[in-house]
Structure 1
Amino acid sequence: MSSSSSSSDDDVDTSTPPPPPRDKLIIGNMTAERRRRQRQADAAASVAAAFAYEAQPLQAVMSDQTREQLLFEVENQEPNSYSDDEPLMEPDPAPEVANGKSIKPKISVATIPEFSEVAAATPAHLLGVLVRLVAPSKSEYSNELKRLATDVVVVLDIGWCEDESMLDFIKGALLIIIDNMSSRDRLSIVSPCPEPRRLTHLRTMDEYGKESLRKIVSSLFFLAEVGDVLDILVKGVRVIDERHFENPATSIILLSNRKSLIEPENPKKKAKETASRFYKLPESIAPRTRGINEFKTIPVHTFGIGPCHDAQVLSLLSSSSLGTYSFVESYEYLPDAVASCIGGILSVVVRDIHLSFALTHGKIIWTETGQYSRAISEMGSLCDVIIGAMYANEVKEFRFEISLPRLKLKGQSSDKMSSTLRVTLLYCDCIGESHEDSSTKEILRPINPSPEGCTPSKAVTENKIYRSGAFAISNAKRKADLNKFDKARQILISCMVDMSASLRSGDPRTLWIYGEITEIAKWFGSRDLYEKFGNAYATSFLCSNAYQRGTTRGRYVPGDDEGLDFQAYTTPDMVDLVNEVRSERHRNGGKPGKN
């Protein structure tokens, strides 16, 4: 396109008519802006298409001079600042009002002590208290979107795909993300080829934006030699950090099929160098201090594809940012794995969740909260947990181990004594409403407890069994990392023996964790098996357990256990999208995406 024709499109009438209404002005500006973006996108797509090749080295397709010229054109399209994101859609209207009160869906909270009664004359040590949170469903909200509008950046750390079908699966996964975003969401893609760069600014996913992104995805290609994953990721972080407008929810999705460039032979040296580089990452994905700052952390959801990816680096990225790490055994499982993940990302209904657990007449000894930040007060009477966001219908459980002192008996007055458990939640919902909800539960301290009060809670017991299984997997992995595979398997087998009696109860979660231990023990048989599958599988499980979020492990995709009572942190939206994608693929003759 010539410069004259380009400028003619942007000619402006110099007359001064009356200013239009503000809503029309916004729409007009957005339309002009999108026309300009489209011209840039078309030019970028043309350049990208020129780079495409069919399983041949790039040098064989074009001369060095032509390649250098095209590289120069691509570099010139990269702005110095990434503050060129498209404006946000107008917010949803105020919530509906019923009987003079606004409708505010809330997080459901249940406080479950291990025993509802404890004898006054008997001190209780390590008494478990389970706090269960259940996020509201999207159907409970009256606004149109029924969830938080989301900004997503997809970062591709992909080496050359020697098989064309591999590239097709990657493109199919990207199309699933594009197809399922709404006009209030925005998307950007960062590619490593021909060098790490942003393929498009943060673009609104209306039909116009989706079609533009589909064209870019169709022209994607990858080279054998690309930059380091952390350098590529920083580009994606810049898209978020430098944006001019902000949607209330944000996520980065990182797809990787190759090892990190940090590959010293000594594992300890590699870990040290990796940690050093991580310290230099932006705080928005690797905060230096935990706590309230995590509300601003961008979750990085990483996907390691095949046996050659770097599980250590990807899991560190996800754990430092409150994201997830999924191990995808082969490319054919990638579209479903990404569908499950984006099904959760696009169903966030509450954010900035801060839980406080307070106790009277007792002390908090320790907590089982996974990787979520927590802090126990000096006196042991209060514990704060920073949770962040929750998906629709998502369930999270936190266990607090407390001790209760022996009470001094004064006649029969001890019958009226109790320890009060208070749970307070602070959070913001998807329509911008702030909540502060509190609930209390009493642990009675009679002289003679009733038989019912001395019966242990089934929910607390099952949680302890499940957590003991996860703890065994963590310990076994530490041994396997040191090449002590016999000891690693011994830890797992011993745990399975201890759990065998609990299997008779038929608890779905106990059955599930027993199956996971059995699967992991199989991959801990030798160094070759561990490096090929065992390390990545166990790492993905531990990540899922740490944040209570569903992850793909090998061939298992969250949603595959739809018929089971326990679905390993899977939410209905994740299951529905996986099923929808599979049905669509079946209708399209095996091709992902919508017609």
Structure 2
Amino acid sequence: MAPAWERARRALATRLCLRFPARHVAIEDAPRELDYVEVLVPVPAVEAEEEEREKSPATVSPAPASARRLSRSGSLNSAKICAICLGGMRIGHGQALFTAECSHRFHFHCISSNVQHGNKVCPICRAVWKELPFQGPLLVDAAAHGTARVNPSDWPQGRLPRADTVNRRDQFPVFRTPESAFFNDDEQINLQSEPVGGGRDGDEIPASVEIMTYTEFPAIQESVTQENFAILIHLKAPHAPASVSSRAPLDLVTVLDVSGSMAGTKLALLKRAMSFVIESLGHSDRLSVIAFSSCAWRLFPLRKMTTFGRQQSLQAISSLVANGGTNIADGLRKAARVMEYRQTRNPVCSIILLSDGVDTYTVTPAQGAPPDYGLLVPRSILPGGHHVQVHTFGFGADHDSAAMHSVAEMSGGTFSFIDAVGSIQDAFAQCIGGLLSVVAQEARLSIECADEGVLLNCIESGGYASGVVGDGRSGFVDIGDLYADEERDFLVTVRVPAARGDTALILPSCAYRDAVTTETIRVEGDAVILPRPGSPVLAAMSPQVEREWNRVHATEDMAAARAAAEDNDFARAASILESRRRALESTASLSSDPQTQALVAELREMQDRTENRQRYQESGRAYILAGLSSHSWQRATARGDSTELTGLIHTYQTPSMVDMLHRSQALLPEVVEALNRSLTVAPSRSQTAGPASPRRSLARAFRSTKSFTGRSS
């Protein structure tokens, strides 16, 4: 008979909720913010049998030693004992069990918690699992409240039911893993010794930003006063470093929609795109992934993309499943916390957000009132706080393009429209190509008037903050980050007084911080000198200035057309776009200019997509907003079917973006083949009838992208 203290210990264990310090919990890689774990200890089946044998030793046969004996690996050898919580597992007694492909069985809530913390191998035999128990928002919700309420008899063993089949009357205990309010568990970096971003190779001297200027006309008669004389200021960022080890490392947080509408091919392509992102990052770049549906959860903290880090990240991405609603705001809040509470910081940081739906949890406007999309964006990542640009990607016809565009605009990021299902990876590749080539940060263009009487009237700066100060004697444009070889054009208008002799108009300069060395650099541009002959001047407008005026006016008309379409006046919207297109086509001096021709094609595409309400809601709104985002920031965005166009559509692409795009497109045939294999089933007669074939639709989705053109002044 067992000692009295042993019987008392077992009796207490059947009734108490025991609290153990986190360091004693048999969960590998427990999160740092976990202060304790609560376990409701069930009655072990083996110990219950022992009590029965102690009561009737003559009638009950002794339990086999294997039921209590530990295996060589340290796990319980009995199939009736959960190797994680050491509790009994009894089929038919309301317990949810999970049987892995290696044939070992565990409590479902135990192994789900174990997998949620990053363990993808069997705790007993260490076999690597391909099929994992569900990791999703329901478990996260359960962890937040301490219990998960399900009816195990309503769903197959080892699988979690849909959220709408949850039975709130039955419950089973789970590990409580409260999420910390501070995401300060990022993998540490040493910026002094990191191979990437630790300095430039050898005696490499960093190039500086180039400043070029073009006047509207080459000269003005000396007796003439010009109230609005245009000057184009053209900036070009330095080239990308000669070696990868010389670039600035990146902290990236991706916020991914895994709601129910992402199920199937969408989620498969998103995983492929994220795999490409992971493989494209360097060893000193760090990545964290936030997934969201009805709520948001962090798959893993910021971790360096070393060989091990990539492997762990790929495993986490592959385990994603799609279900639930769309809570964009919660996903961005989690991403903001990751960025805000970093212990160490890489020089470059950004957030990427992808969604195919509408946030119905935060943005709920009153009847007749416009939605307040500002509620989606945490203030901590906006300018004035820990400013982090959010690059948003609206996927498919059902996403909220107005919300995604607003999130990007408020944070200084870009909005891209992914029309075809097979374009996710290309869209991500273009964005990553830019983020991995940042050469200048906190760039600011300053403009000083030179001669007396010259006054600065206005600055056409698009989405960039700008201003005229000092009673019109100076001005500025806050540009922020610049990718390698990226270009910016800003039109300024000045008052030119009548004067004898040449007139010095402005003195441009640019100050910025080198992204690699963190050194502050100031570049002084040449003074803009305007000749003042005594006789009238007959000269054509500068083609550079005329081209930029065309772009500025076209952008204004795009915004006006969008406003008309939002008022359901689609005829007026189409008329605005057509008028601007015809005006560009009649510009004789730029009739053969590729950028002007591409702008004409872009306006025609927008006109086609605003011909009626259905067309506008399906793709017109998103296409126009992506165009406005691109022109506002002078940065490349994805535009649905815009890969059919050339020139200005790709004008803002940098060599780094194009290189990353080519790498992505080189993998597309492999992706198509893999997806076709995954979709191969025993087809019925209706499934093989052309348009419904998955192979044909995927082939169309992955059609080859045409050549890209660079930007020229």
TM-score, normalisation: structure 1:
0.82
Show the counterpart of 1:584.
667
Instruction: Specify the code of the residue in structure 1 equivalent to 2:592.
Output: G
User: For residues 156 and 66 of structure 1, do their structure 2 counterparts lie closer, same or farther at Cα, with a shift above 3 Å needed?
Assistant: farther
In the alignment, does 2:487 pair up with 1:395?
A: yes
Show the counterpart of 1:286.
382
In the alignment, does 2:528 pair up with 1:528?
A: no
Show the counterpart of 2:415.
325
CA offset at residue 309 of structure 1? 0.7
CA offset at residue 139 of structure 1? 3.6
1:353–1:388 CA contact under 8 A, matched in 2: yes
Higher RCO (CA 8 Å, separation ≥ 6 residues): 1
Instruction: Specify the code of the residue in structure 2 equivalent to 1:88.
Output: I
SS at structure 2 position matched to 1:448: coil
- Measured in 1, the distance between the counterparts of 2:417 and 2:603 equals 17
Instruction: Specify the code of the residue in structure 2 equivalent to 1:269.
Output: A
Show the counterpart of 2:247.
147
The Cα RMSD (Å) is 3.4
- Measured in 2, the distance between the counterparts of 1:420 and 1:375 equals 18
1:152–1:253 CA contact under 8 A, matched in 2: yes
Spell out, residue by residue over 1:21-80, the C-alpha distance to the aligned partner (whole angstroms, 9 max, x if none): xxxxxxxxxxxxxxxx99942279989931169xxx99743376999989954x616334
CA offset at residue 298 of structure 1? 0.4
Show the counterpart of 1:490.
575
Show the counterpart of 1:556.
642
Show the counterpart of 2:704.
none
- Measured in 1, the distance between the counterparts of 2:28 and 2:614 equals 62
User: For residues 327 and 6 of structure 1, do their structure 2 counterparts lie closer, same or farther at Cα, with a shift above 3 Å needed?
Assistant: closer
Structure 1 unaligned blocks of 5 or more: 10-36, 288-292, 408-413
| 1:38-117 → structure 2 map (5 Å cutoff) | 40-42=117-119, 49-51=132-134, 60=155, 61-62=159-160, 72-73=174-175, 76=177, 78-89=179-190, 90-91=193-194, 92=197, 94-95=199-200, 103-117=205-219
Instruction: Specify the code of the residue in structure 1 equivalent to 2:613.
Output: R
In the alignment, does 2:368 pair up with 1:368?
A: no
Spell out, residue by residue over 1:148-179, the C-alpha distance to the aligned partner (whole angstroms, 9 max, x if none): 21100001133214652111111111111101
In the alignment, does 2:411 pair up with 1:309?
A: no
CA offset at residue 459 of structure 1? 0.5
Show the counterpart of 1:404.
496
| 1:36-435 → structure 2 map (5 Å cutoff) | 40-42=117-119, 49-51=132-134, 60=155, 61-62=159-160, 72-73=174-175, 76=177, 78-89=179-190, 90-91=193-194, 92=197, 94-95=199-200, 103-139=205-241, 144-161=244-261, 163-192=263-292, 195-226=295-326, 228-261=327-360, 268-271=368-371, 273-275=372-374, 277=375, 281-287=377-383, 293=384, 296-361=386-451, 362-407=454-499, 414-415=500-501, 417-432=502-517, 433-435=519-521
CA offset at residue 5 of structure 1? 7.4
2:261–2:356 CA contact under 8 A, matched in 1: no
2:598–2:647 CA contact under 8 A, matched in 1: no
- Measured in 1, the distance between the counterparts of 2:534 and 2:29 equals 90
1:492–1:521 CA contact under 8 A, matched in 2: yes
- Measured in 2, the distance between the counterparts of 1:50 and 1:151 equals 30
1:115–1:443 CA contact under 8 A, matched in 2: no
2:348–2:515 CA contact under 8 A, matched in 1: no
Instruction: Specify the code of the residue in structure 2 equivalent to 1:538.
Output: I
1:306–1:331 CA contact under 8 A, matched in 2: yes
Structure 2 unaligned blocks of 5 or more: 1-21, 31-113, 122-127, 137-149, 676-713
SS at structure 2 position matched to 1:216: helix
CA offset at residue 85 of structure 1? 0.4
1:170–1:331 CA contact under 8 A, matched in 2: no
Instruction: Specify the code of the residue in structure 1 equivalent to 2:133.
Output: A
CA offset at residue 399 of structure 1? 0.9
| 1:440-479 → structure 2 map (5 Å cutoff) | 440-448=526-534, 454-479=539-564
- Measured in 2, the distance between the counterparts of 1:145 and 1:97 equals 11
User: For residues 333 and 321 of structure 1, do their structure 2 counterparts lie closer, same or farther at Cα, with a shift above 3 Å needed?
Assistant: same
Identical aligned residues as a percent: 25
User: For residues 4 and 338 of structure 1, do their structure 2 counterparts lie closer, same or farther at Cα, with a shift above 3 Å needed?
Assistant: closer
In the alignment, does 2:629 pair up with 1:543?
A: yes
In the alignment, does 2:502 pair up with 1:502?
A: no
Residue correspondences, number: 534
1:359–1:382 CA contact under 8 A, matched in 2: yes
Instruction: Specify the code of the residue in structure 1 equivalent to 2:220.
Output: V
- Measured in 1, the distance between the counterparts of 2:395 and 2:25 equals 47
- Measured in 1, the distance between the counterparts of 2:29 and 2:631 equals 58
- Measured in 1, the distance between the counterparts of 2:172 and 2:661 equals 39
User: For residues 425 and 7 of structure 1, do their structure 2 counterparts lie closer, same or farther at Cα, with a shift above 3 Å needed?
Assistant: closer
User: For residues 513 and 7 of structure 1, do their structure 2 counterparts lie closer, same or farther at Cα, with a shift above 3 Å needed?
Assistant: closer
SS at structure 1 position matched to 2:211: strand
SS at structure 2 position matched to 1:536: helix
1:339–1:577 CA contact under 8 A, matched in 2: yes
Which of 1 and 2 has greater Rg?
Answer: 2
1:78–1:198 CA contact under 8 A, matched in 2: no
CA offset at residue 359 of structure 1? 1.5
TM-score, normalisation: structure 2:
0.69
